[in-house]
Amino acid sequence: MLKTVKSVPGIITTYNVLNLRKNLLNGTLDLGTNFSGQLQLIDLQNNFISSYVETGAYSKELILIGNPVCQQNGATAGYCKLPEESNPPYSTNPKNCVPIICPTDQKASPYCRCSYPYTGTLFFRAPSFSDLGNASVYVALEDSLMKSFKANSNVLPVDIVSLSNPTKDPDNYIELTLNVFPSGKERFNRSDISKIGFMLSNQTFKPPKQLFGPFFFIGSEYGNFEDSVPLPSGGSKKSPRLSLGVIIGASVNGGANQKVYLDHLLGNKPTR
């Protein structure tokens, strides 16, 4: 008997991402053929899926890490690995946590939490190093940034920062992408962004003198303010979520086997 579930606790969906991590799904995974062409990623990490029926119909990213199907001896299938990404000269590593895939409009922090960081570019005019692959200089910069944020933690709700994509421009300035992640919430409010930008722009923050010279910061536009999320009719402030119908259970052969069906994704009606 098929059961259609309209909402699943912990589900995070976008137009091209289906996230059903830690939803106690078990049995055999069969995606079928009737799914949205917009779907780019199905993330089913840390469930109890014991096998996967590979029909070839779905060719995008599927992640089954943390399921019994990936814990068998010699499990080398692509869905038992995180998607490979091109490696820049430096990118802040996860802090003793398992890397995760976030919805497309969010980013994963070094603490492996999804949120809406404040992003911008740091420009250093006269650094003392030339090796863009020297990770130690970026770690020192991260530590220095966090010391400044923690010194103002009563007014700056910053959880952690990340640095990535160091490059040199034609003037030999070193450019670094900076992500500042909110603490205790998914989004910053307008006051938070103003205070963070002020700290980075008025030279309140001082980078390590022995490594980095004078700098300036240019912040990107922040379009995910906490105080701009519309209030639903219930009154609580939550991010809008898409409604998603998912076929997640079926009894086969009198209940001897259970299959997990996800052939009704992103609003498509299942085939009876």
pLDDT tens profile 248-262: 333 333 333 344 434
Instruction: Break the chain into its structural domains and give their ranges.
Output: 17-80, 85-223
Helix or strand or coil: residue 47? Answer: coil
Q: Of the segments 15-19, 134-138, 159-163, 223-227, which one has the largest average pLDDT value?
A: 159-163
Q: Residue 182 has what pLDDT?
A: 95
Q: Among 222, 219, 221, which Cα is nearest to 120's?
A: 219
- Beta-bridged to residue 188, according to DSSP, are none
Going by C-beta distance under 8 Å and a sequence separation of 6 or more, which residues neighbour residue 186?
A: 106, 114, 115, 116, 226, 239
- State the amino acid at position 146 in one-letter form: M
The predicted-structure confidence for 196-212, as pLDDT tens digits, reads as follows 999 998 778 889 888 88
User: What pTM, to 2 d.p., does this model score?
Assistant: 0.54
The rounded percent of the chain whose pLDDT value lies above 90 is: 36
pLDDT at position 60 over 90: no
State the average pLDDT over residues 85-89.
58
Between CA 157 and CA 132 the distance in angstroms is: 30
Going by C-beta distance under 8 Å and a sequence separation of 6 or more, which residues neighbour residue 37?
A: none
| Choice between 159 and 87, residue whose per-residue pLDDT is larger | 159
- State the amino acid at position 264 in one-letter form: H
Label residue 218 by pLDDT band (50, 70, 90). very high
Label residue 107 by pLDDT band (50, 70, 90). very high
Token pair 């799914």: residue: 35
Of 15-19, 88-92, 153-157, 221-225, the poorest mean pLDDT is in 15-19
Q: Residue 88 has what pLDDT?
A: 59
Between CA 26 and CA 21 the distance in angstroms is: 12
pLDDT at position 124 over 80: yes
Label residue 246 by pLDDT band (50, 70, 90). very low
**Per-chain mean pLDDT for the chain:** 76
- State the amino acid at position 131 in one-letter form: D
pLDDT at position 247 over 90: no
30-46 core/surface letters (b: 16 or more CB in 10 A; e: else): bbbeebeeebebbbbbb
Between CA 181 and CA 272 the distance in angstroms is: 45
The rounded percent of the chain whose pLDDT value lies above 70 is: 72
State the average pLDDT over residues 60-81.
85
As its CATH architecture, domain 85-223 has 2-Layer Sandwich (3.30)
Going by C-beta distance under 8 Å and a sequence separation of 6 or more, which residues neighbour residue 243?
A: 6, 7, 267
Q: Residue 97 has what pLDDT?
A: 92
